[in-house]
Amino acid sequence: MVSALGPLNSASLFASQLGGGSSSSASSSSSATKIGGVQASFAATLQGLATQTVSTLQNAERVSMQGLQGKADTREVVDAVMGAEQSLQTAVAIRDKIVTAYLEVSRMAI
């Protein structure tokens, strides 16, 4: 059980650090873009996605525990776990793209 909570706590920490605090959000507001009349920065968008992924993972864990206790159907458990797996794979793919972009920028000659 403890090992299952480790990744969730790490993901929660990652989601909370994406915002970067109030100074980061204040400086990023100048580079923010308007989406549907609402100003959104890249960091805020990533933070929202990370928070949603953590929520999906926590829901899957909760439904899995209910399934073990006999309070949830097998289909509910499978749906929750598959949704969590898809969310986690998406988050990892986005992270990989961000790391790749960072490495490319760091290799550029000034």
Give per-residue pLDDT as tens, 88-104.
Answer: 999 999 999 999 999 99
pTM higher than 0.85: no
Structure letter (DSSP) for residue 72: S
pLDDT at 42: 85
Residue 104: phi, psi to the nearest 5? -65, -40
With bands split at pLDDT 50, 70 and 90, how would you rate the model's confidence at 33?
A: low
What pLDDT sits at residue 34? 63
Amino acid identity, position 110: I
Output Rg (C-alpha) for the chain, integer angstroms. 18
Mean pLDDT of the chain: 78
Mean pLDDT of 18-44: 56
